[in-house]
Amino acid sequence: MSTPDVDVVVVGAGPAGSCAAIVAARAGLSVVLLERGPFPGSKNMYGGVVYPRILDGLIPNWWEEAPIQRWVTRRSTMLLTDTQALTVDFRSEAWGQPPYNGATAFRPDWDHWLASHAEAAGAQLLTDTTVVGLLRDAGGAVTGVRTDRPDGDLTARVVIACDGVNSFLAKEAGLYEHTDAKHFTLGVKETLALPKEVIDERFAVRERHGVDIEILGGTGKVNGGGFLYTGLDTLAVGVVLKLPKLAAQQQRPEQIIAGLKQHPAIAPLVQGAELKEYSAHLIPEAGLTMMPKMTMPGMLVAGDAAALCLAAGIWLEGVNFAMASGMYAAEAAVEAVQKGDTSATGLAGYQRRLSDTFVLKDHRKLRRAPELVLSDRVQHLYPTMVANVVERMFHVDNPNPKPGVRRILDQERRKAGVRRRDLLRDGWTGFRSFG
Amino acid sequence: MNDHIISFQERMDTAEFRVHHQAHIVVDGKVCADCSTRECVIACPANLFVPTSDGGIVFNYEQCFECGTCYIVCNREGAISWHYPEGGHGVVFRRT
């Protein structure tokens, strides 16, 4: 066999790919990082919050240089019906100081920044380059990739596929058993311009402090969720929609955002803000249920390409899972290259690292959460039931005396058409997942 | 509320697209002709799939977010062929 062009080819300069390239290049391997867009991050969008603590070991004091918009110091979870809103609002000064917790950031900024660290580590970044297929040997092992450049074949000891939610590489290699629309949600977002002072006043924050609002019940008949995040002088408002439901309900994505923006609890927050950019992206929503095989001879799969995205209602994370899985994939690739064994056995360190860390531990713990959160009862029955219970608790209906909470709960449960058995079962599933 | 209501085209014009002359989406009109559910028409966030009066579908690829929703919601085998645009082309989300 001829000598490969490089030790490692990383496909996709998103958070997974750049972290993989940083680790592999720092270990002394020759690394090419391929990006199909004109710059890293140009194809990427998400709601807007990143949890970067996994970078502590990779980029010490990352918070001094990372291109963040605001540090999330206020987190709200909102339950909406057409005319009601119930909000749990938490704020912490600690989240506004190093090492921080969550931050709002734009992916074109964030991904571009991470890729610059990969280049600084010695990886060669090639933009404007789409990978169109895998190169494989007679035994099926991956030996490189084919790009759309002239003479664009690139051979490598290990390919790390970080090619995103549509991962044509993982599909081509047969690592996904099947692709099912119900495993995906569509995220659509409006980035709105609003002066910083107006945002600070409207959301009661200061300096670089910001707000993360997660919304259940604001997506009409389509199962999903909404979000509203503060950038420095922008707002991100959007919805995440379950694909089969979206197609069936005859309601278009931008109409659902418009509906959310008109809700009496949301409208005053976004009033007067002008559309700066409309964007959309798919989310691998189903967690463990949809995850592919992530290791094969000569190739590892990381980030969204491996469905390593946590969509568990109150926890919505993806970039941190991508960064971690990219790092672990590269650590395993380094071991394999050093041993001279890039077979599935040689690359087994990847799966072990995923299993031993939050990457798969969180997914295992929350394996029932995505389905529960997007279920018809949680989406369409519980918000009304809960909001009505709260409304009746605080509604002073004199001369009538206050009814007992248990009675209200039972009446509202029946009014909403929720069977006690289902409520208990969902409560138990939720408790086992989130407890 | 007197916020300006924008048209769909104005909405799409807020995003940047570097259009390649070759389409990265191909729709087989013969397969679509007897599809009554038309998932792509509703779900595509860029509204690229438009039904025609004679029961067909016309599609655009120029202002595509490259999300993949269309081919994933479509339940007709072979109706939508979809791949990434040529390197450097397609949607370019904005840096600040």
Please give the Cα distance from A278 to B13 (Å, whole number).
9
The pLDDT tens digits for A49-103 are: 999 999 999 999 999 999 999 999 999 999 999 999 999 999 999 999 999 999 9
Minimal C-alpha gap between A411 and chain B (Å): 37
Put simply, the answer to whether B45 touches A41 (Cβ < 8 Å) is no
Query: Which residues from A are below 8 Å from B10, CB to CB?
Result: 275
Please give the Cα distance from A22 to A121 (Å, whole number).
6
The pLDDT of residue A249 = 87
Q: Which CATH architecture has domain A182-284?
A: 2-Layer Sandwich (3.30)
Question: Cα A427 to chain center, whole Å?
Answer: 25
Beta bridge partners, A242, equal A185
Judged by DSSP in three states, A202 sits in helix
CB pairs under 8 A between A and B: 127
Query: Which residues from A are below 8 Å from B73, CB to CB?
Result: 181, 243-244, 246-247
In this structure, what are the phi and psi dihedrals at residue A349, rounded to the nearest 5 degrees?
Answer: -60, -25
The pLDDT tens digits for B17-60 are: 999 999 999 999 888 888 888 999 999 999 999 998 888 888 99
Under 8 Å between Cβ of A188 and A199: no
Please give the Cα distance from A268 to A85 (Å, whole number).
13
Strands A31-34 and A6-11: parallel
Contacts of A356 (CB under 8 A, 6+ apart): none
Under 8 Å between Cβ of A359 and A318: no
What one-letter code names the amino acid at A128?
D
**What contacts 24+ positions apart, CB below 8 Å, involve A288-291?**
A288/A363, A288/A364, A288/A367, A289/A183, A289/A367, A289/A370, A289/A371, A290/A176, A290/A180, A290/A183, A291/A363
CATH of the domain at B16: 3.30.70.20
Please give the Cα distance from A221 to A224 (Å, whole number).
9
Residues of the domain holding B13: 8-87
Please give the Cα distance from A178 to A100 (Å, whole number).
39
Residue A179 DSSP one-character state = -
Cα–Cα–Cα angle for B29, B34, B36, rounded to 5 degrees = 110
A233 at B interface, C-beta within 8 A: no
Name the E strands within A194-266: 209-216, 224-230, 234-242
The pLDDT of residue B3 = 54
Cβ under 8 Å to B: A residues 176-195? 179, 181, 184, 186, 188
Strands A234-242 and A224-230: antiparallel
**Count of structural domains, chain B:** 1
As given in the structure block, the two tokens for residue A88 are 């749990």
Is residue B92 domain-resident?
Answer: no
Is residue B2 domain-resident?
Answer: no
**What contacts 24+ positions apart, CB below 8 Å, involve A201-209?**
A202/A268, A202/A269, A203/A74, A203/A230, A203/A269, A204/A74, A205/A70, A205/A73, A205/A74, A205/A230, A207/A96, A208/A68, A208/A70, A208/A71, A208/A96, A208/A232, A209/A70, A209/A71, A209/A73, A209/A74, A209/A96
Beta bridge partners, A49, equal A104
As given in the structure block, the two tokens for residue B32 are 């679509």
Is residue B1 domain-resident?
Answer: no
Q: Does domain A6-69+106-180+290-368 have CATH number 3.50.50.60?
A: yes
The interface predicted TM-score of the complex, written ipTM, equals 0.96
Dmax (CA) for chain B in angstroms is 46
- Neighbour count for residue A104 (Cβ, 10 Å): 24
Strands A49-50 and B16-18: unpaired
The kind and range of the H/E element at A274 are: strand A274-284
Under 8 Å between Cβ of B65 and B46: yes
Is residue B95 domain-resident?
Answer: no
Q: Which residues of A151-174 are buried (b: 16+ CB within 10 A; e: fewer)?
A: ebebbbbbbbbbbbbbbbbbeebe
Contacts of A368 (CB under 8 A, 6+ apart): A429, A432, A433
Please give the Cα distance from A350 to A356 (Å, whole number).
10
What one-letter code names the amino acid at A63?
W
The pLDDT of residue B2 = 43
Put simply, the answer to whether A42 touches B92 (Cβ < 8 Å) is yes
Minimal C-alpha gap between B14 and chain A (Å): 5
| Low pLDDT (below 50) residues in chain A | none
What one-letter code names the amino acid at A361?
K
Query: Which residues from A are below 8 Å from B90, CB to CB?
Result: 37, 43
Q: Break chain A into its structural domains and give their ranges.
A: 6-69+106-180+290-368, 182-284, 375-434
Is residue B30 domain-resident?
Answer: yes
Distances in Å between the Cα of A174 and the Cα atoms of A132, A134, A179, A230, A422 are: 15, 12, 11, 40, 38
Minimal C-alpha gap between B35 and chain A (Å): 13
Judged by DSSP in three states, A434 sits in helix
With 0-12 / 13-18 / 19 or more C-beta atoms within 10 angstroms meaning exposed / middle / buried, residue A376 is exposed
The pLDDT of residue B1 = 42
Distances in Å between the Cα of A370 and the Cα atoms of A166, A314, A379, B47 are: 19, 10, 12, 27
Ordered DSSP codes for A62-126? GGGTS--SEEEEEEEEEEE-SS-EEEEEEE-GGGGSTT-S-EE--HHHHHHHHHHHHHHTT-EEE
Please give the Cα distance from A79 to B20 (Å, whole number).
43
| Residue of chain A with shortest Cα separation from B39 | A247
Put simply, the answer to whether A244 touches B91 (Cβ < 8 Å) is no
Please give the Cα distance from A259 to A253 (Å, whole number).
10
Please give the Cα distance from B31 to B35 (Å, whole number).
7
